[in-house]
Chains A and B, each alone.
Chain A
Amino acid sequence: MSAFWKANQRRLAPWLFMAPGLAMFLLYVIIPIFQSIWVSFYDWDGLGDARWIGTANYVELIDDDAFYISLKNNVIWLVLYMLAVPAGLMIAIFLNQTISGMRLYKSLFFFPFVISQVVVGLMFSWFYAPNFGLFYNLLEWVTGSGTAILADDRYVTYGIIAAGLWPQIAYVMILYLTGLNNVAPDQVEAARLDGAKGWQMLWYVILPQLRPATFIAVVVTVIGALRSFDLVSIMTNGGPFGSSRVLSFYMYEQALSEYGYRMGYGAAIAVVLFAIMMLFISGFIWKMWRDETER
């Protein structure tokens, strides 16, 4: 026993240290993934007997308008959420100066990320609220007639994304601020001697050095966009008539909400969402793998 331990100690120790984490990961992430896939082949209300229906849930999904609305909204979320990356960068560059009181300004800009998404959602719903909302009154003043953003199926998703961008930009900003701290001053100095300034400096000198920060910012933004749930739930509950649903919310509605309890169908939506996420996640992992092996 002890001879075996002596011989393999170096190989075993890391696994032993990782064992608690791996066990948790297996129990709470890996196994539920396969359970979800399994449930998605059943017709089950969570109470009675589950009935095997094969791929019927997926067949129904293909013909479900609400599913396509959610999917479309998820794509809009993904695309528009990416605005957080350049916007966060701009604010970070703007704040990366040495002026007295800068720490205060930085923390004020970071503030929206600290408060709960639920609070952000509530604030923006009041902002958009008909009759007394600031934005509603502004629209009324400018255009003559107010629009209740959250009650209009054309604008509702954009209204929620705007609310989501607010904390997300702050998050990206903080990532870039730490990244800017690590920008080598001698390179900036050298570039300046060579006559680089403005956009040239940003594009060819600063940004390449910020690549790790950009990578993380894109990853958290993609994941944030795909798992957007709390804002939809707080601000509209998926409405009006389901036009602001995203996949994660639709899954919750079908499987767990007051009018739902179609566990199988909800699981099928979760599997689709998982597949979409896997697409991005494997992309990221592949990139990380490539970067590490290149070095």
Chain B
Amino acid sequence: MVHLARGALALTAALLMTTAASAQQRVLKYNADYDPIPLAAMEALIADFEAANPDIDVQLNNFDHEGYKTAIRNFLTADAPDLANWYAGNRMAPFVAAGQFVDVSDVWESEGLNEALSSARASMTIDGKQWGVPYTYYQWGIYYNKDAYAAAGVEVPTTWAEFVSNCEKFTAAGIDCVTTGSKALWPIAGIFDYLSLRTNGYEWHMDLTAGKIDWTDQKVKDVFAEWAKILPHTTKNHAAIDWQDAAALLVQGKAANYVMGNFAVGTFKEGGMTNDNLGFMVFPEITPGIPRAEEAPTDTIHIPSGAKNIEDAKKFLAYVASAEAQTKWNTAVGQLPTNKNSSVPADDPFLAAGFEALSSAYALAQFFDRDAPAEMAKVGMEGFQEFMVKPENLDAILDRLEKARARIYK
């Protein structure tokens, strides 16, 4: 009883204090979808921002990651915050088209972001204007188990031909050459994207995801022909497992390679891998001479059109885009800053490799489900999964995708 009374007292006091504080401060409501580690990092950033701007009170309202994707559609129209998390590329197109995001080109102009964030500028631009600010991205590539390579007695490949011939040796040694978990569909889109980028190049791939190329085109079939080479050496039951289950196969040495994003490193290490036996390589070249493009999904912050405090929201965007803020956030989370004046911790080989891979890349793709419209992404990824299980259905799958393309991009 005593505890209860004391707790109630503390609660009342806390409530009184927050109302007292917000009475003299301008409130900035921020809706986000952070996992625990990024959340802590963002709270630290907000504390710094509030220290520098004592007259602004940022109220972070954190959502569950999956639930956020549905929630944003409701709160943008019903009860708009001043800031909201979202993604770059085609993923933000429906909101921009519906007039739900504020044009923040002036922030880009005044803060010199066109220079500093040049690598992410294209994916933030629709109709020549910028609609938000990117704060992080991460590389995709092939993560591999060095012990599995040793067990099969093969070298880390430098070309696609070597990669494929390695696969046969892995299979002979009873190891899955490539693992993935396609239950949630998106992991295999990474494989398709890389095969497409390496076979036909960045411009072609972007045309494909923008709906300018027939899915029945011979060049699409070329991509799937490359994929067919590694299919017999891919984890058999991928359709039944999630990406984390496949990560366990890599950790246990039952699989050698995994096309994944850098966020998976944490999972690999939790499973017991270290910098000594976990390796990272850029997806190998397929068609010689094609400039190397990489996948780098970018996370962004936007100002909803219904925001009440746009002035301060822009101030916050400028702060999040700054080199110091991005260095701090991304160091804490283990991802890559989009501001090129930021620094990356040197003791993390995967971040260093990713930074190197992305900064030397010819161009950056977002990811299949962000480059292509949501509906096309869904139909496409389902097609990829069917192809992986039943490669003989390829023509029927491509006919179906072509039908979807004709409907979605009209």
Contacts and interface: CB of A to CB of B under 8 A. Distances in A.
Interface of A: 45-48, 60, 65, 128-131, 148, 150-153, 236-237, 239-242, 253, 256, 258-262
B237 A240 contact: no
A285 B385 CA distance: 44
B240 A150 contact: yes
B240 A60 contact: no
B100 A47 contact: yes
B378 A260 contact: yes
Nearest to A64: B403
B238 to A, nearest CB: 7
Given A47-B77, A237-B183, A241-B382, A260 B389 contact: no
Contacts of B272: none
B73 A239 contact: no
A60 B374 contact: no
Contacts of B240: 128-130, 148, 150-151, 240
Interface string B73-97: 1001100000000000000001101
A264 to B, nearest CB: 13
Given A153-B389, A241-B385, A47 B95 contact: yes
B184 interface: yes
B98 A240 contact: no
B392 interface: no
Contact of B237 (A151, A260, A262): A151
A240 B239 contact: yes
A148 B374 contact: no
A190 B386 CA distance: 62
Most buried by A among B73, B77, B377, B383: B73
A62 B111 CA distance: 53
Contacts of A242: 382
Given A241-B389, A258-B69, A259-B374, A48 B238 contact: no
A241 B377 contact: no
A253 B69 CA distance: 14
B340 to A, nearest CB: 31
Interface string B377-408: 11000110110010000000000100000010
A200 to B, nearest CB: 48
Closest 9 CB pairs of A and B: A151-B240, A259-B378, A151-B239, A241-B386, A130-B237, A240-B239, A148-B240, A148-B237, A48-B98
Residue picked from A46, A47, A152, A237, most chain B C-beta under 10 Å: A47
Which of A129, A148, A150, A239 counts the most B-chain CB atoms under 10 A from its CB? A239
19 contacts: A45-B94, A47-B95, A48-B98, A130-B240, A130-B241, A150-B240, A151-B183, A153-B389, A236-B183, A237-B183, A239-B239, A240-B389, A241-B385, A241-B389, A253-B378, A258-B70, A259-B375, A259-B378, A262-B375
Given A47-B100, A241-B382, A260-B378, A148 B94 contact: no
Contacts, number: 78
B285 interface: no
A52 B389 CA distance: 39
Contacts of A237: 183-184
A47 B385 contact: no
B193 interface: no
A46 B382 contact: no
A244 B369 CA distance: 22
Contacts of B293: none
Contacts of A153: 389
A237 B382 CA distance: 12
B69 A261 contact: no
Given A48-B98, A131-B237, A239-B382, 9 more contacts: A47-B73, A47-B76, A60-B407, A65-B400, A237-B184, A241-B385, A241-B389, A258-B69, A261-B73
Contacts of A261: 73, 94, 374
Interface string B214-243: 000000000000000000000011111100
Nearest to B375: A259
B253 to A, nearest CB: 14
A127 B374 CA distance: 33
A150 B271 CA distance: 25
A259 B186 CA distance: 11
B185 interface: yes
Nearest to A265: B375
A256 B378 CA distance: 13
- B237, B375, B386, most chain A CB atoms within 10 A: B237
Contact of A148 (B239, B377, B386): B239
B18 to A, nearest CB: 33
Interface string B39-80: 000000000000000000000000000100110010011000
Contacts of A236: 183
A43 B92 CA distance: 20
Nearest to A256: B70
Contact of B389 (A45, A46, A151): A151
A152 B73 CA distance: 34
Nearest to B74: A46
A258 B71 CA distance: 11
Nearest to B384: A241
A278 to B, nearest CB: 29
Nearest to B372: A259
B402 to A, nearest CB: 13
B300 to A, nearest CB: 17
B385 A239 contact: yes
Contact of A47 (B98, B185, B238, B407): B98
A45 B95 CA distance: 11
A235 to B, nearest CB: 10
Contacts of A239: 182-183, 185, 239, 382, 385
A119 B88 CA distance: 36
Contact of A241 (B76, B94, B98, B383): B383
A260 B239 contact: no
Contacts of B389: 151, 153, 240-241
A239 B237 CA distance: 13
B238 A151 contact: yes
Contacts of A130: 236-237, 240-241
A260 B70 CA distance: 10
Contacts of B76: 47
Nearest to A47: B98
